[in-house]
Structure 1
Amino acid sequence: MGVLKLVLGLVVICWLGIAAFVYFTQGSLLYQPLPTNVLIETELMNTVPGLEVLLVTTPDGQSLSGWFLPRKRGRSLAPVLVYYGGNAEDVMDFMRQAKNYPDVSIAAVNYRGYGRSTGVPSEAALKEDALAVFDQASAMTGGKGLVMGRSLGSGLAAHVAAEREVIGAVLLTPYDSILAVAKDHYPYLPVSLLLKERWNALPDAAKAQAPAMVITANQDGVISDARSDALYDAWAGSKLRVRVPLAGHNDIVNFPDCTKAIQKFLQDNVR
């Protein structure tokens, strides 16, 4: 009995330790800002013709920094594709892929605390910022825009699609809620009690009327198919589902099947 009590005591201590770790470090687990890589920034400016710095001032006075690449469509600018990145991503990475999507203007702005953007990230702040970025970028191109969100950013793209009139939404490795994702990863913890931010995308999906494409990675070890399927099922507008064989959560954008699917979606929805 003494040994059993000792073992049970150690199990409880370990369980409490893990729970405490998740509770007190959840901010750094969810938001992983990267400082600006000056070498990549210089390369980007030198290799992407027409690229401009885009600055967005938030309602609470923060300054968000990113990029805008205008593309001509007839005598005016092409509709803008506004990109919302992953939780550990500098949007410069996406701007380096701009050549793959020549039929749209492109805007991508780093979250608060990421790159050269000021402030501290939170769910409420990032959702407000996402709307501000879309409003400014779409105004620059005549009021028409699409959204693309990857991983964490898929929830922001869904939020914008629910609150604004968008032409279409591309959702890369999306989730129904961060709470549900956390339950998948920590089934032995009371994550409903531990998480401060839920990032529930389902209400926005149920409100969004724009056409959407959900793209998932068959080898995704972060967000399961069940999480993406739930978002897909909830989406109110027309929708299609694309699965990329052999792709993982972090490298899906490097697969030609992913790029081709996005290109076709843009061609079908940008008039």
Structure 2
Amino acid sequence: MRAVAGPLGTLLLVAVVVYAALCLLMFLMQRSLLYYPTPPSAAPQARLQANGIELRFAERPRAGPRALLYFGGNAEDPSHSLPELAAAFPDDAIYALHYRGYAGSPGTPSEAALHADAQALFDALQRRHAQITLIGRSLGSGLALRLAAERPVERVVLVTPYDSISAIAARHYPWLPVRWLLQDRYEAWRDAPRVKAPTLLLLASDDTLIPRQHGEALSRHFAPGIATVRVLAGTDHDSIGADPAYWRALQSRGE
């Protein structure tokens, strides 16, 4: 019996050590797994000194009260989205934040840093525009939602949003204690109850990266009458923007 227990005990110890080492590795690498910075962009970039760095953003300036502030998805250069947004909103000023480390923007991305940058850019734009609509896609949906909970905004659109990054990570890595390991949790559900502006959640029916169930779960945390959910059939995380219904929904302004 002792001879059996000895090898089994050794195997169990080795398994525990390997698992602990894997958890440590994932903890140390987590931001490189969460953020996918894009290469430097050749597109023109506006600049704003804030939070100790030179924030960069794409813009299509327009005089007047209305503006749209866009927070893109992971691995997205937001300047590429600017022409389509400008065509969809010809009378609005358009701005799109370049996250730290993305498209040549300085710094290193983290949840706290990106939230602070989003606030700084909004505060600067609010001095020019009284009516600001927020659009957040994927990773950017959490930034838009936190900003809407903390600042007066006209309208919010969340494209393929999540209830929390920790919930998404737990789905993709069920064998890891991700809720203990994660530093950047992006718990959007905590911000939803504080949002007072009309909010549209656009979900892709066949999304495997952020399954629609996470967006539906998020919608249940809003105050009554604030959030509207729309599922675009036959779309996934990447193709949702190619559906004509997507652009009609963005332009509807809740009407």
Gaps of 5+ in 1: 46-52
Structure 1 partner of 2:207: 220
**Cα distance, 1:70 vs. partner?**
2.6
Match of 1:102 in 2: 90
Deviations 1:150-191 (A, max 9, x none): 111101000110010000000001111111111111122111
The whole-number CA distance in structure 1 between the counterparts of 2:10 and 2:235 is 44
What is the distance in 1 between the residues matched to 2:77 and 2:58? Answer: 11
Q: Aligned partners of 1:174, 1:137: CA distance in 2, in Å?
A: 24
Say which of 230, 238, 247 aligns to 1:250: 238
**1:219-238 correspondence to structure 2 within 5 Å:** 219-236=206-223, 238=226
**Which of 29, 50, 69 is 2:60 aligned to?**
69
TM-score after normalising by structure 1: 0.83
Q: Aligned equivalents of 1:222 and 1:7: distance in 2?
A: 35
Instruction: Single out whichever of 162-171 and 191-200 deviates more from structure 2.
Output: 191-200
Conservation of the 8 A alpha-carbon contact between 1:213 and 1:265: no
**Equivalent-residue separation in structure 1 for 2:7 and 2:84 (angstroms):** 59
Deviation of 1:18 after TM superposition, in Å, equals: 4.6
Q: Is the 8 A contact 2:193 2:222 kept in 1?
A: yes
After superposition, the CA RMSD in angstroms is 2.3
Which residue of the partner structure matches residue 139 of structure 2? 152
Following superposition, the deviation at residue 36 of structure 1 comes to: 2.1
CA contact (8 A) 1:70 1:78 kept: no
Give the number of equivalent residue pairs.
249
Distance 2:207 2:8 in 1: 39
Question: Is the CA contact (8 Å cut-off) linking 2:46 and 2:57 kept in structure 1?
Answer: yes
Identify unmatched segments of 5+ residues in structure 2.
none
- Structure 2 counterpart SS, 1:234: coil
Give the letter for the 1:127 counterpart. H
Cα deviation, 1:39-61, whole Å, max 9, x if unaligned, reads xx2xxx6xxxxxxx421221x32
- Pair 1:27 & 2:31 matched: yes
Partners of 2:19 and 2:248 lie apart in 1 by: 45
**Between the two proteins, what is the percent identity of the paired residues?**
38
**Stretch moving more, 171-180 or 189-198:** 189-198
Q: Distance in 2 between matches of 1:207 and 1:102?
A: 30
How far is the alpha carbon of 1:251 from its aligned partner?
Answer: 2.6
Q: Give the secondary-structure state (helix, strand or coil) at the position aligned to 2:248.
A: helix
After superposition, give the CA deviation of every residue in 1:95-147 in whole Å (9 maximum; x if it has no partner): 13121222422111201111232111111111111111111123222x22111
Corresponding position of 2:49: 57
